[in-house]
Amino acid sequence: MLKTDKSEDFYNRLYRFARDCAVAVRGLPRTLTNQTYSRQLVRSSSSIPANYIEAQEALGKKDFLYRLSVCRKESKETIQWVRLILDTNSGETAVFKRLLQESTEFVLIFGKSIGTVRRGPRLNELIDRFKHEPII
């Protein structure tokens, strides 16, 4: 798919988010539960920008939709791990609340993008196309 400045900016946001998740878990108490949740959070959050890169290099619409769907799925999984960390730790929660908010935004963004791609060309594009093509 076409790479734009907007997609580059969004990739950078996803990258920073994954980095912020990795940094945030370093400050958690070293318990077995936190280690498990932290590993899962780092895996799911770092998968989002990686799959977004794959979406930008998609071979076609189906591949693009699949990669965006994986991004949305990983964003939802990230929400799960952040919530568990918040619910099992009473210390500093501000950074994890911000991560929860941002991962929720990602789910909405990817969902909207998937819907837009599935709908295909916009009505105005179709009208313009038919203005220039003979109707038989």
What CATH number does the domain containing 27 carry?
Answer: 1.20.1440.60
φ, ψ at 60 (rounded to 5°): 180, -175
Query: What residue spans of 89-122 are helical by DSSP H?
Result: 94-119
Q: Is 12 helix (H, G, I), strand (E, B) or coil?
A: helix
**Distant-in-sequence contacts of 25-28, Cβ < 8 A, 24+ apart:** 25/85, 27/92, 27/95, 28/85, 28/89, 28/91
Query: What residue spans of 5-60 are helical by DSSP H?
Result: 5-26, 32-56
| Total number of domains constituting the chain | 1
pTM here is: 0.83
pLDDT at 88: 96
Crossing angle of helices 32-56 and 5-26, in 10° steps, is: 170
User: Which tokens in the block code for residue 39?
Assistant: 């590993």
- 7: pLDDT confidence band, cut at 50, 70 and 90? confident
Per-position b or e across 54-82, b if 16+ CB within 10 A of its CB: bbbeeeeeeebbbbbbbbbbbbbbbbebb
- Report DSSP state, residue 88: H
pLDDT digits over 40-84, tens only? 999 999 999 999 999 999 999 999 999 999 999 999 999 999 999
Q: Which domain holds residue 70?
A: 5-132
- CB atoms closer than 10 angstroms to residue 35: 13
